[in-house]
Amino acid sequence: MLDSGEARVVDGPADVCVEACPHCERLVLPEVLKASLNVCPLCGYHRPLSALERIAQLADLGGWDEVGSDLQPLDPLGFRDLRPYRDRIRAAQASTGLREAFVGGRCNILQQPAALGVFDFRFLGGSMGSVVGEAIIRLVNRAVADRVTLVMVTSSGGARMQEGILSLMQMAKTVVALEDLRASRLPFISVLADPTTGGVLASVATLADVIIAEPGAFLSFAGPRVIEQTTREKLPEGFGRAEESLSYGQVDMVVPRSELKRRIAALIVLLQGGEETRIRKVGSDEKRPWWRSGTLGRTAARAEELARPARSWLRRGDS
Amino acid sequence: MPALPGVGYGEEIARLQRRLEELRGEESPTVAWKTVQAARAQGRPQTLEYLSHLAPDFIELHGDRLAGDDPAIVGGVGSVAGKAMVFLGHQKGRDLKERQQRNFGMARPEGYRKAQRLALLAERHSLPVVCLIDTPGAFPGVEAERGGQAGAIARTLQVFAGLQSPTVAFVIGEGGSGGALALGLCDRVFMLETAIYSVISPEACAALVWRDASEAPRAAEALHLTAPDLLTLGVIDGIISEPRRGVAGQARVMSRRLKRTLSSSLEELGAVPPEVRRRLRRQRYLNLGVFAG
């Protein structure tokens, strides 16, 4: 089932179900949305994706090896506002079916080996607490151990307030871990989805070799309301959007979802020295044969991959 | 039937205990909130004042060599007991004019880039880096965002993570979120007794979860942002005690205390080869976090 976010679901006559695009408000069939990777075919609005939908869109079929799946959040401060933090965690776990706001694993992206990590904004605003930090560390370690590219898709409100200073320290923790990736000269590609803000933007997300943004994604360290309150000025049109960030030199490219998988795979190949170099590297590595069997550069197969809807095998893994 | 002496007071004792618990619950937010107010108090010594006592030969260096010079972060070289080091610190400003000029200690990307530049300068010349943290946070402004605020903070963290030089940080007042952490990824981190260090300001936290900024005292308590809290959580290495009447006007006394801690820290850190020091720093930050599994 698609995560329709705030979209309204309209039951039409005779078993017809349509959804309204939250952006252009026109009605779209869910099947059509699914086929277009949850991008409105009428206005191009990129709807939010759950972590598993994102993984299904990016990872090749059949080889997802989750990293850090045993991690569970705790409540180190005994934080309590209107609701206890523990309740908030439980509610988020129940509504998303996830343990935390980040899912990472080892996979292939169009036959290119990668460690892929994805934030899920539905889980407490994709906020980074101790578990998310640790899950990122383990994913980085896995990328280093397997000598593969790190790909991270972020959508996050920033550090998780309910874990206080420990959340802030996750920024330091993830940055420190990325040093290992750099020392190993492994590529790091980050994809900024809507929205990526605060401590996540100011740590892992912007330290990538290549930063891709999804069209329309809101990217800002400070929240829009905080900026308006501090400067007492109305925010200019398009402020903080991916397209503006591109024009100010803060991201490398804005890539529509339909192109994303191909672009990531192409970058993985190029950042590892190109197809020639890569074949030599992989060919000489006898310890890790499982991606060697993958055939390279079959564009027809890639196109077919992209057209396929979300995969049911992934959702099973979720429960 | 009237209660006999020594009989049937169990209920009364339980009631009093409950009341005591309630009072404790009401009292503690005041402690956290009082600390927040003390940490932000105008009379508190600031970076430049500490430097005038700590390193009287301090020479300020300006600019990020790219776009500008941010007066919210000051930096330069100076020596403590004949040992040269690079100093970096937020400067909030004293009077209204200076506060405006320094943007209340809220740095822009230029400030963080200046910090990177000076940290790398320290590394080139084998000097330790000492950071004094005192900021409400990074400046939330349109131009700052367009100039790459998030990336500037991230790269500052990266520079400090990889630095060969020994690094020591002191939270001397307000340790506000990412803007504070940018100068805080150090080998040793200390806080003054009434300093605070938090992921978010209590006001912003209250506005977000209680939908009411006036709940800030409660948020301050919930966030665990005082020096003893951070020591308990293993985030800092020690607390610098303050005179009983507070730090206002006590720059000289406090500088002596900072100097003692700084000297002993640098001695410890200097005894370790740079590669080991970097590995220990790495391990320190990798260990932070509380989770199951």
Q: What is the mean pLDDT of residues B194-205?
A: 96
- Residues A166-202: tens digit of each pLDDT: 999 999 999 999 999 999 999 999 999 999 999 999 9
Q: Look at A34 and A14; give whichever has higher pLDDT.
A: A34
Question: What domains can you pick out in chain B, each with its CATH number?
Answer: 42-279 (3.90.226.10)
What dihedral do alpha carbons B140, A245, A168, B292 form, nearest 10°? 150
**Would you say B116 and B167 are in contact if contact means Cβ atoms under 8 Å apart?**
no
Does the beta-carbon distance from B288 to A172 stay under 8 Å? yes
B138: closest chain A residue by CA = A222
Does the beta-carbon distance from B185 to A81 stay under 8 Å? no
Partners of residue B138 in chain A, C-beta under 8 Å: 202, 221-222
Partners of residue A230 in chain B, C-beta under 8 Å: 139-141
Q: How far is CA B53 from CA B89, B120, B253, in A?
A: 15, 25, 9
- Residues A93-108: tens digit of each pLDDT: 999 999 999 999 999 9
In a mutational test of the A interface, the residue from B104, B116, B135, B145 whose CB has the highest number of chain A CBs within 10 Å is B145
Give B72's contacts (C-beta < 8 A, 6+ positions apart): B90, B91, B92, B102, B103, B104, B105, B106, B107, B108, B111, B135, B139
How far apart, in whole angstroms, are the C-alpha atoms of residue B259 and residue A263? 53
What average pLDDT does the structure give for chain B? 93
Q: What is the mean pLDDT of residues A13-18?
A: 67
Does the beta-carbon distance from B151 to A250 stay under 8 Å? yes
Q: Where are the domains of chain A?
A: 1-47, 48-303
Most confident of A301-315, B3-17, B176-190: B176-190
Partners of residue A71 in chain B, C-beta under 8 Å: 291-293
Q: What is the mean pLDDT of residues B97-122?
A: 98
Q: What is the mean pLDDT of residues A71-83?
A: 94
Share of chain A above pLDDT 90, in %: 75
Closest C-alpha to B66, from B127, B116, B138: B116
Please give the model's pTM, rounded to 2 decimal places.
0.87
Closest C-alpha to B152, from A221, A133, A194, A188: A221
Range name among A306-315, B99-108, B167-176, B259-268 with the lowest pLDDT average: A306-315
CA A120 and chain centroid, separation: 7
- Residues A110-154: tens digit of each pLDDT: 999 999 999 999 999 999 999 999 999 999 999 999 999 999 999
* Angle (nearest 5°) at CA A213 between A279 and A45: 120
CATH for the stretch A48-303? 3.90.226.10
**Would you say B106 and B179 are in contact if contact means Cβ atoms under 8 Å apart?**
yes
Does the beta-carbon distance from B222 to A177 stay under 8 Å? no
Does residue A1 carry a pLDDT above 70?
A: no
Does the beta-carbon distance from A231 to B141 stay under 8 Å? yes
Q: What is the mean pLDDT of residues A206-221?
A: 98
Band (B26; pLDDT cuts 50, 70, 90): low
